[in-house]
A and B are shown apart, each in its own frame.
Chain A
């Protein structure tokens, strides 16, 4: 069957079997391999994308269910060569090591900050509870999201811990 949707601001369409998962459609049909598969069973969050403004797990949806949807993946976050503040935060605050959880983590953080522009540390931690990271112990992911939040509010982010000598 044919499915069409808007992905990262572009109208796209492609063939999908009725059982094709959305994440496979994005990765294999559209070649957008930034969205990762960590478990295919809705527990790790690596496949998180934004669909009609909400963070959703693209491994728990069929491509067919996304017909007509408006999707943003991690590839679509930066605009005109400018990183999204959340991407910048992850870079500036060492919010990633292996980077495998990162696209999903960033997508969740974007939604989190859209819904709550000034989250406390606890709110950040709860907001990314559905995204597992095995590398960072979440410490610098929290710092990265704090950095992004400050930037998005037009404030000066707190200095990096390693600059605090």
Chain B
């Protein structure tokens, strides 16, 4: 285990003392006097014409303050989407509802129990219409999801930027390869099923409109406070400085809390209308049917290669499920898959995904967002190809990697410049850690005993920590939420007169430990103990404009902004200290809570003394302004491209189809590491979610659009006894796009894991001739595959 931190040392998390004693404050814990409570009336139908909405009985109930329908809120317009391709969600819908769980009316009452009773008392007439759920059915446009519009919203075709002539040439090249005498063509249609994100904290929002000041305080379990603030400002005709959004502790997000939701706007509307704080916390069922879902692809992957493992072309063609409405990034998620469509390989790749609507909840960013799907198809089909030609799956991969000698300057076959990479070294390290040849020998010995043991391997590259700033011109700004760019980090570091410091930053963590990591970066730069540094995040009043936490971006982008702001403060402090110590600025060093002259530790001043001087301008050297703080906006030169290799060992019980995950090894490379403890924790959680997809989780809609897995009884999450302890190690290939050399790690575990497990299970069942099983690999499905193979 490499425990080296670029900053040196592991720090226990500073957020933990509150959280382990039950004193953390999550949104639902906030109590304001006279708070009213919301319950929603939601459609039980996937597609239906709404007739009358009778609110009279509900409105007459004691304790009910208001019942709102679309007539009250339509003037606000639909829900803002960041990539507004396709139909947008009405805040409340009294026309044609498009998915189970769509909000039809909103009840506000003195008490949450009363609100729920009153919501039950709202009578809605629905006239059910035929629903489209199946992706191929949707693609046919036989039943439109939205009257008069094609169900296909957009088709993403790659390589990125290739014109029709170039695409035609690429496809002809792959066709020609298929005609070669030594060509091996392996093709498989596979489903990458829909998932429900399920952070354990349900989403919660409280709006407090203060009429006397004409301003909003909004508390929300959001990953992007600034986007919500920008949206609320737009809806209510207010300036950004009239709206404060506070995300306090957020109990997991995984992407589903980075949307701005209609319920957040509606709760704000009710607060303004009623003149009192209004709060709503979703139920677990609402979290399933009206918070965004992820994945949902059906696609065919094809590899064309030679008998000795040279891959001549990869093609992916498929359909991605957008659900009924576009929300934040909806149609852009498969585009993120396109970024890594060719993985860490150099072979020609043709990639096409049609994004279609269905009568289901919207899909959007769920941990990995397009990249786990893309990696799944690629890594599954390469494994099938390796099996077909009888070659070690590690060797096939190594043979087709982009070579480390192509960095810097490597451009992926999908057309994107990549920062740094050394894939073969990482693969070899993983094989060594796992004891690859021993594993294969043990597997063979088990097979000889009639046991079904399998070893699975997969490698991945992801793209995250997005910049550069110029991506805005591709439409990926945050402009719909009044944020000009989604690609910069922003941090403000202030030294107080007593020598303590505050970092204000726009990140919106949901468990990533930013209280600790930002303090480490600043503390390291200033030579100041982390205990003297306060971190304020998730609060739009305190933070410089920034865009929250998602896409494994915080360390690489906002962390870099912390680093740069710290550098500016240190530079100014060095001038002041030099002046105070009558030394030369170049000789000033920072350590142990102050500055000293290099080689003369006794000639020193504390941060308190430097700051006291900074706030008395007459004592400062000529030309220096008073004060001791700095703001930095960091714009990275590129996204970062972390990578890794994962290996799983499984045993399948052929009588029951039960899969036992025996070992799981992860060798990830996220560049430099600030906190090995936090980085490993992120990988653990990511792997668990990938294993969850591989083995358990499935958001199932029936043909009528009913969500059959809307509770935790039928949406199965991995428990502690389903998982082994993970064996992690890392290689370190620093990025050159930020001064810390760090890449992202929040999603990597998820991007590497689902296919690793499926590869292992298919390997276990190879003696039976099983070549593929669609996820999730629950016992029944595995058992069925065994029966089919035996038949």
A interface residue numbers (CB < 8 A to B): 17, 19-20, 27, 31-41, 43-44, 46, 73-75, 77-78, 83, 87, 90-92, 94, 96-103, 106, 121-122, 124-126, 128-142, 160-165
Cα separation A92 to B677 with both chains bound (whole Å): 10
Cα separation A103 to B201 with both chains bound (whole Å): 12
In B685-702, the 8 Å CB interface with A consists of 685-689
- Quick one: given A91-B20, A134-B198, are A99 and B251 in contact (CB under 8 Å)? yes
Q: Are B513 and A132 in contact (CB under 8 A)?
A: no
In B661-683, the 8 Å CB interface with A consists of 676-678, 680-682
B interface residue numbers (CB < 8 A to A): 1-4, 10, 12-13, 15-17, 19-26, 28-29, 31, 113, 198-202, 249-254, 281, 283-284, 510-513, 676-678, 680-682, 684-689, 711-713, 717-721, 723, 725-726, 749
CB-CB under 8 A from A39, the residues of chain B are 284, 711-712
Task: Pick the residue among B12, B15, B252 that contacts A92 (CB under 8 A).
Answer: B12
Task: Pick the residue among B19, B202, B687, B723 that contacts A99 (CB under 8 A).
Answer: B19
Q: Are A141 and B720 in contact (CB under 8 A)?
A: yes
Cα separation A98 to B201 with both chains bound (whole Å): 9
Please name the residue on chain B nearest to A8 by beta carbon. Answer: B22
Task: Pick the residue among A36, A44, A135, A138 that contacts B511 (CB under 8 A).
Answer: A135
CB-CB under 8 A from B26, the residues of chain A are 33, 36, 100
Known contacts A96-B19, A98-B251; 11 further A-B pairs (Cβ under 8 A): A34-B23, A34-B24, A36-B26, A36-B201, A41-B712, A43-B712, A74-B20, A106-B20, A122-B721, A135-B252, A162-B680
Cα separation A73 to B719 with both chains bound (whole Å): 23
Interface of B is mostly: loop
CB-CB under 8 A from A35, the residues of chain B are 22
Nearest-neighbour CB distance to chain B for A84, whole angstroms, equals: 9
Cα separation A102 to B713 with both chains bound (whole Å): 21
Q: Are A94 and B688 in contact (CB under 8 A)?
A: no
Cα separation A130 to B713 with both chains bound (whole Å): 12
Q: Are B511 and A97 in contact (CB under 8 A)?
A: yes
Q: Are B685 and A135 in contact (CB under 8 A)?
A: yes
Task: Pick the residue among B15, B16, B199, B713 that contacts A43 (CB under 8 A).
Answer: B713
Cα separation A24 to B686 with both chains bound (whole Å): 32
Nearest-neighbour CB distance to chain B for A55, whole angstroms, equals: 15
Name 26 interchain pairs, CB-CB below 8 A, sorted by A: A19-B113, A33-B25, A36-B200, A39-B711, A40-B283, A41-B712, A41-B713, A87-B21, A91-B20, A96-B20, A97-B681, A98-B511, A99-B19, A102-B20, A125-B720, A126-B720, A126-B721, A128-B719, A132-B712, A134-B685, A136-B685, A137-B689, A140-B681, A161-B680, A162-B10, A162-B677
Nearest-neighbour CB distance to chain A for B556, whole angstroms, equals: 19
CB-CB under 8 A from A137, the residues of chain B are 684-689, 718, 723, 726, 749
Q: Are B725 and A142 in contact (CB under 8 A)?
A: yes
Please name the residue on chain B nearest to A45 by beta carbon. Answer: B200
Cα separation A90 to B281 with both chains bound (whole Å): 27
CB-CB under 8 A from A129, the residues of chain B are 719-721
Cα separation A45 to B681 with both chains bound (whole Å): 21
6 closest Cβ pairs, A-B complex? A34-B22, A100-B251, A137-B688, A98-B511, A99-B19, A97-B511
Q: Are B16 and A96 in contact (CB under 8 A)?
A: yes
- Quick one: given A33-B22, A91-B16, A165-B2, are A100 and B720 in contact (CB under 8 Å)? no
Q: Are A101 and B200 in contact (CB under 8 A)?
A: yes
Cα separation A34 to B22 with both chains bound (whole Å): 4
CB-CB under 8 A from A100, the residues of chain B are 26, 199-201, 249, 251-252
CB-CB under 8 A from B1, the residues of chain A are 161-162, 164-165
CB-CB under 8 A from A36, the residues of chain B are 26, 200-201, 251
CB-CB under 8 A from A121, the residues of chain B are 725
Q: Are B725 and A75 in contact (CB under 8 A)?
A: no
Q: Are A94 and B681 in contact (CB under 8 A)?
A: yes
Cα separation A37 to B284 with both chains bound (whole Å): 10
Cα separation A146 to B125 with both chains bound (whole Å): 56
CB-CB under 8 A from A17, the residues of chain B are 113
Q: Are B510 and A165 in contact (CB under 8 A)?
A: no
Cα separation A141 to B719 with both chains bound (whole Å): 12
Q: Are B20 and A139 in contact (CB under 8 A)?
A: no
- Quick one: given A44-B200, A97-B681, A162-B676, are A139 and B16 in contact (CB under 8 Å)? no
Q: Are B721 and A132 in contact (CB under 8 A)?
A: no
Q: Are A136 and B681 in contact (CB under 8 A)?
A: yes
Cα separation A37 to B204 with both chains bound (whole Å): 12
Task: Pick the residue among B23, B251, B684, B711 that contacts A136 (CB under 8 A).
Answer: B684
Nearest-neighbour CB distance to chain A for B198, whole angstroms, equals: 6
CB-CB under 8 A from B717, the residues of chain A are 132, 134
